[in-house]
Amino acid sequence: MELRAALEAAGLDLPELYVDYGGRHLVHLGKVSFATARELARIVQAAHEPFHVGAAVVDTTRSKVAKILAVNGECLVLSRPVGDPWDALVTWCRPATLGEALSLTAFQEPGVGELTEITRDP
């Protein structure tokens, strides 16, 4: 089934998401990627589930995984263990995969001082 037809069958009208290149590629916020059935299923699921405080999401405009601190209508307040919180529109975000969510725990507090990212020796 062509991706556009699958989106329409699911009842989705996502203005930031459209199908191009012969119905085989998703274009999301100007980024083209080959869409698999799994990716399409994730997009459909995300469109039907509201974001909630504490959930891990990916801000696609910054390509960063973050945790939701607050939901203010169509705006999310996002945060990472290192750095200041920022605002992102709901349409800019998607739910994080398990691997992406686990990347948030790659930051640990070394005891006293600033949070630092853990690095591995080769």
Q: What's 60's domain CATH number? A: 2.30.30
Q: pTM value?
A: 0.50
Rg of the chain (C-alpha set): 17
Residue where one domain finishes, among candidates 49, 69, 86? 49
Q: Are residue 68 and residue 101 in the same domain, yes or no? A: yes
Q: What is the pLDDT along the chain (122 residues), one digit of tens a residue?
A: 455 666 666 666 555 555 554 554 555 544 445 555 566 666 666 665 678 888 899 999 998 999 999 988 888 999 998 889 999 998 889 888 888 888 887 654 454 444 444 444 44
Please report whether residue 58 resides in a domain.
yes
Please report whether residue 79 resides in a domain.
yes
pLDDT of residue 117: 46
Structural domain boundaries, residue 80: 51-106
Which DSSP symbol is given to 118? Answer: -
pLDDT of residue 49: 61
pLDDT of residue 57: 92
Residue where one domain finishes, among candidates 49, 69, 84? 49
Sheet of strand 64-72, all strands in order from the earlier edge strand to the far edge:
86-89, 75-79, 64-72, 56-59, 93-95
Please report whether residue 61 resides in a domain.
yes
Largest Cα separation within the chain, whole Å, is 55
Q: Are residue 62 and residue 90 in the same domain, yes or no? A: yes
Q: Are residue 16 and residue 2 in the same domain, yes or no? A: yes
Q: Are residue 86 and residue 72 in the same domain, yes or no? A: yes
Domain tally for the chain? 2
pLDDT of residue 67: 94
